[in-house]
Amino acid sequence: MQRINYPQQKDWEDILKRPTQTVSDIEAVVNSIFKEVQDEGDTVINKYTAQFDKVTLDSLLVTETEIETANGNVSEALKQAINLAKSNIEKFHAAQKTSRVAIETMPGVDCWQEKRPIQKVGLYIPGGTAPLFSTILMLAIPAKLAGCKEIVLCSPPDKNGEINPAILYTAQLCGVTRIFKVGGIQAIAAMTFGTESIPKVYKIFGPGNQYVTVAKQLATKYGVAIDMPAGPSELLVVADDSANAAFVASDLLSQAEHGVDSQVILVSTSEKLIEAVEEEIENQIKELPRKEIAEKSIGNSKLILVNNDQEALELINEYGPEHFIVCVENEDYYLENIQNAGSVFIGNYTPESAGDYASGTNHTLPTNGYAKQYSGVNLDSFMKSMTFQKISEKGIQGIGSAIELMAEAEGLQAHKNAVTLRLKSLKK
């Protein structure tokens, strides 16, 4: 990891750059595949599945038989762990339900807001080196709680044409309606346009590599909403001498092993702690099965020594981390003043892994600094708000003249007439 001592604020932008390609670097590839899928549907899906996943499939749809087989291939211990996580995630997201908001803004003018589920949603679940079945819990559970009628899941197959059994078990457990063996850009394109096999959806959720992220952004040009532009995983830890260096190192490595383009950052007021964490990383990384991935990610990562808590907080808010761990004596200062973070983890015994799997909060979070303007996935992500109004005779008499004057001032005579006619009818 790169050591940076007491950086000047003018240098923060360069220091805090993410190790990601720009959209322009890969947009051409994404546009090309989108156009092919739009024109040729399943034929192109199968072509890219053969090219990227090295398998030729008879059908993109996962069958009931495959799901039953997968259920038998997941250990009881793992099933119990998944069910525990499911319970906590359901509790936390169910608590986010809100009732109808209603008010009479003036006599005879009733306005209210209600929420309705998005009818068709698509979930993208990465496979490859880390089959993220935990992401299904984070997406399908709130989708089901929201009342989404169609929950479509796409995940890339392995070289045997199969999807990881834990993915299939979790998808069935959480109420996914259809599962398809397709990954990457082509999966996002399929859910954007629809193909002979895969339905078009109204909103796409889920993490992925930079190609998937750009594909999701492109989908919005075709009228499909997305959860957020979530890209490579990242973590920032702020820690002082009250922190356990081994714990801090383990958290940094837990994100570093996600992918070679992940980034982790430690910000501290203690040079002693930074040195201890650096030593722990060197020791712990040797034991990791994903050592090579973690090492490349650590190469993108920073150890930043700052003068005080105020400077640390300003730097953290500038970065806007996806995951933010607070292990300091003065934790209240950070909790009260953090403005830009996807999810916050507090204290020596709150690993980021808890939020990834089982504490109950959602792990689909904004990266690349998008925490400055985006929320992580929550129950409302699967719903939209609708407003209603009902105006009585008394109400239109009270509000009508104001509408007429405003419409006339904007030069919209028909708007004015719609009110004038009603008011005249009440004078008869």
Active site residue 322: yes
HSE (side-chain half, CA atoms, 13 Å) at 116: 7
Nearest Cα neighbor of 237 from 366, 93, 345, 84 is: 345
Contact 164, 188 (CB under 8 A): no
Q: Does 124 belong to an annotated binding site?
A: yes
Contact 135, 86 (CB under 8 A): no
Q: Does 410 belong to an annotated binding site?
A: yes
Q: Which of 323, 336, 363, 404 is catalytic?
A: 323
Q: Report the 10 Å Cβ neighbour count for 169.
A: 21
Q: Does 258 belong to an annotated binding site?
A: yes
Pairing mode, if any, of strands 109-117 and 101-106?
Answer: antiparallel
| 378 Cβ contact partners less than 8 Å away, ≥ 6 residues apart | 93, 96, 142, 362
Q: Which of 36, 66, 162, 322 is catalytic?
A: 322
Name the CA radius of gyration of the chain, rounded.
25
What angle in degrees, to the nearest 10, is found between the helix axes of 76-94 and 165-173? 40
Place of tokens 């761990």: 325
Active site residue 363: no
Structure token digits, residue 285 = 């990384």
Q: How far is Cα 123 from Cα 153, in angstroms, rounded to an integer?
A: 5
Q: Does 255 belong to an annotated binding site?
A: yes
Cα 28-33-34 angle, rounded to 5 deg: 95
Q: Does 356 belong to an annotated binding site?
A: yes
Binding residues: 124, 186, 209, 233, 255, 258, 323, 356, 410, 415
Residues recognised as catalytic: 322-323
Q: Which residues are annotated as a binding site for NAD(+)?
A: 124, 186, 209
Q: What residue numbers does the annotated binding site for substrate cover?
A: 233, 255, 258, 323, 356, 410, 415
Annotated binding site for Zn(2+): 255, 258, 356, 415
